[in-house]
Each structure stands twice: as structure tokens, then as C-alpha cells.
Amino acid sequence: MDAERRQVTVLFTDMVGFTSFSERSGEEAAYTLMRSLSKLMDEAVREQGGFVRGFTGDGIMAVFGAPVALEDAPLRGCRAALSILQRLKGSRVWPQSTLQPSRKGAKKSVSRRARARS
């Protein structure tokens, strides 16, 4: 079994205001909202050749460049993020008044990941 090193791009999303929404609206409304948002985000990620590695409560962790290497993985991650924002703006899923970029800002980070191949 050989290990393989490669660069991947990881996209994290976080819904600003989701905690206060779920406190006001209740568990069922929060679940219904996240189910719709997860589908929307998953579609945007898949269209750019990535996959959702995990759900983080009110967001996702998406990976580009694994298991298949992508030369333009960072660009695809950025395109997926922009697509998610555009889809949110064009949908009735998330209230427009709360749609805003995270105050935490965005960071570009590249991680190396070892994968076992048989």
C-alpha cells in the first residue's frame, strides 16, 4: 500500500445568524432550513468537482482535489463559494436580511493530506 501526497482545497461554510434563527424558530424549522441549505450547498460543490466531506451543524466542509487531483482546485473552491452565495440570494430558503459575509473573513489555506492507496 503506497501513500500519496497532494494538495487539496477545503471550503468551510458557516451560516451567519443561524443560532439566533434556530433559537427563535425552534428545532423543526432549523432542521428544515438546514436540509434545504445542505442540498443547495452540496449541488454547488458537486458542480465544481468537489464533494462534501462533512456537515458542521450550520455549514459544510467541502474538499476539492481529492480523491482525483485537480490543478485548479483553489479556483473551483472559490467558484463553489460564490455559487452558494448566489444561490442563497436567489432562493427563498434563507432570509435576505440576514445574508451577509462572515465577519471572520476568508483565509486561503492549503493543506497536505496523505491518502492510502491499495
In this structure, is residue 66 part of a structural domain? Answer: yes
Identify the domain containing residue 34 by its residue range: 9-91
Nearest to 85 by CA among 53, 75, 93, 1: 93
How many structural domains comprise the chain? Answer: 1
The reply to whether 107 falls in a domain is: no
Report if pTM > 0.85. Answer: no
Task: Tell me, yes or no, whether 115 lies in a domain.
Answer: no
**Is residue 114 one of the residues assigned to a domain?**
no
Torsions phi, psi of 65, nearest 5? 100, 10
Asked if the structure places residue 60 within a domain, the reply is yes
CATH of the domain at 65: 3.30.70.1230
Residue-wise pLDDT for 71-106, tens only, equals 999 999 999 999 998 998 888 776 655 545 454 544
